[in-house]
């Protein structure tokens, strides 16, 4: 057994018969400040921590998204004031003209306005990501030894909590206005889950757009240009049978119309029709298409 000093001060013992090599702590490891000794102990004998799982990193980024709300509570305005204003305006302006009374119209309108309010605020997902990219935060995320999509998935999960808050507020406002869902609490919860599923899926579109556009304003404008026709040319406000034939045909293939129909069936205690399956297919398709596209663009986003 022979011993020599390495170039870095590490004592190296070599067994000439077996050809093995053993490294011990550097000379003087017991000297220095306690902080230096602790650092040397980690560098010499500590084991490398296991890599975080995809779930844990995604939840961490989701928690980060929620911390933003705590530090900037103004972000909750879009999930509190906007749904309330939309519900009150459309109910009292159009209720009497379309259904004869506010009480009758709110029974038809409430599931649709929940869908509209939640889907409309999904566009803030894209603007938030674009702001992080402009600040250089995502450059740091890409350098971390973690599951690459976790930063985006976590942000979408955090936004899902915001969507849940908006849905809860909408249900409370509807009940105050006289909405009485025949499906009971279970039907309302199931209807909200369908809305959240589709909202999470459509959020991948705005995430991809955020990685393409150069400013948050451009992301907002593009999102509005897509969402406005989808929301108003749907069955949210009126029955499609009252529309012209060409517009009724568009409403029939509009994915938002199927989300609204599924929510109405669940909240109204009715039997589920084919719209629920269409919503599942749309949700899966959006994630399967825009998920990979987003990650492809995420690698080179600036």
* pLDDT tens sequence across 266-284: 999 888 989 999 999 999 9
pLDDT at 24 over 60: no
For residue range 97-153, what is the model confidence (pLDDT) as tens digits?
Answer: 777 777 888 888 899 999 988 888 888 888 888 888 888 877 788 778 888 788 888
| Tokens representing residue 280 in the block | 């599942």
The confidence band for 239, taking pLDDT boundaries of 50, 70 and 90, is confident
* Mean pLDDT value of segment 68-94: 76
Which residue, chain included where needed, has tokens 């500590």?
46
Residue 109 lies in a domain: yes
pLDDT at 25: 47
Phi, psi of 26 (to 5 degrees): -60, 150
User: Is residue 201 assigned to a domain?
Assistant: yes
The more confidently predicted of residues 4 and 151 is 151
> 200, exposed or middle or buried, with CB in 10 Å at 0-12, 13-18, 19+?
buried
Please tell me which of 35-49, 60-74, 229-243 the model is most confident about, judged by mean pLDDT.
229-243
pLDDT at 45 over 60: no
The verdict on residue 25 lying in a domain is no
pLDDT at 199 over 80: yes
On average, the pLDDT of the chain sits at 81
162 touches 79 (CB < 8 A): yes
Distance CA 174, CA 191 (A): 14
Q: What total of structural domains would you count in the chain?
A: 1
Task: Label the pairing between strands 10-15 and 20-26.
Answer: antiparallel
Is residue 2 domain-resident? no
* Amino acid 279: pLDDT: 95
Q: How confident is the model at residue 8 (pLDDT cuts 50, 70, 90)?
A: very low
290: containing domain = 54-87+97-298
pTM here is 0.77
Q: Is residue 44 part of a domain?
A: no
DSSP-assigned states of every residue in 261-287: HHHHHHHTTPPP-HHHHHHHHHHHHHH
Which residues on adjacent β-strands are paired with residue 26?
10
Residue 203 forms part of a structural domain: yes
Q: Which residues does residue 23 pair with via DSSP β-bridges, in sequence order?
A: 12
Q: Which of 24-38, 87-101, 125-139, 239-253 has the lowest mean pLDDT?
A: 24-38
Question: What pairs with residue 10 in β-bridges?
Answer: 26
The per-residue pLDDT for 257 is 94
On whether the CB atoms of residues 19 and 37 are closer than 8 A, the answer is no
Length of the chain: 302
Question: Tens digit of pLDDT for each residue in 167-193?
Answer: 888 899 899 988 999 999 999 999 999
Return the H-helix or E-strand segment holding 22. strand 20-26
**Residue that is written with structure tokens 């980060």 in the block:** 64
Q: What is the pLDDT of residue 33?
A: 78
Instruction: Report the alpha-carbon distance of residue 5 to residue 186 in Å, rounded.
Output: 72
239 secondary structure, DSSP code: -
Asked whether residue 195 is domain-assigned, the answer is: yes
The reply to whether 289 falls in a domain is yes
Specify the range with the lowest mean pLDDT, choosing from 2-6, 50-54, 61-65.
2-6
């Amino acid at each position: 057994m022979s011993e020599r000093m390495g170039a870095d001060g590490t004592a190296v013992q070599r067994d000439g018969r077996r050809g093995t090599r053993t490294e011990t702590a550097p000379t003087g490891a017991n000297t220095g400040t306690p902080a230096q000794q602790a650092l040397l102990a980690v560098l010499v004998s500590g084991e490398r921590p296991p890599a975080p799982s995809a779930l844990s990193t995604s939840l961490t980024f989701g928690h980060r998204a929620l911390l933003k709300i705590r530090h900037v509570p103004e972000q909750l305005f879009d999930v509190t004031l906007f749904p309330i204003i939309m519900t009150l305006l459309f109910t009292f302006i159009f209720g009497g003209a379309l259904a004869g009374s506010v009480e009758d119209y709110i029974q038809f309108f409430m599931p649709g306005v929940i869908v509209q309010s939640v889907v409309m605020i999904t566009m803030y997902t894209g603007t938030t990501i674009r702001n992080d990219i402009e600040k250089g935060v995502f450059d740091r995320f890409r350098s971390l030894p973690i599951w690459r999509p976790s930063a985006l998935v976590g942000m979408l999960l955090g936004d899902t909590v915001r969507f849940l808050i908006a849905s809860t507020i909408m249900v409370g406002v509807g009940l105050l206005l006289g909405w009485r869902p025949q499906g009971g609490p279970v039907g309302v919860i199931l209807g909200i889950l369908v809305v959240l599923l589709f909202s999470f899926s459509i959020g991948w579109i705005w995430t991809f757009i955020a990685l393409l556009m150069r400013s948050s304003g451009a992301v907002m404008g593009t999102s509005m240009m897509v969402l406005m026709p989808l929301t108003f040319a749907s069955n949210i406000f009126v029955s499609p049978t009252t529309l012209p034939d060409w517009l009724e045909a568009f409403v029939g293939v509009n994915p938002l119309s199927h989300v609204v129909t599924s929510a109405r069936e669940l909240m109204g205690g009715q039997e589920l029709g084919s719209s629920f399956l269409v919503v599942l297919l749309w949700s899966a398709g959006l994630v399967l298409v825009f998920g990979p596209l987003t990650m492809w663009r995420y690698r080179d986003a600036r």
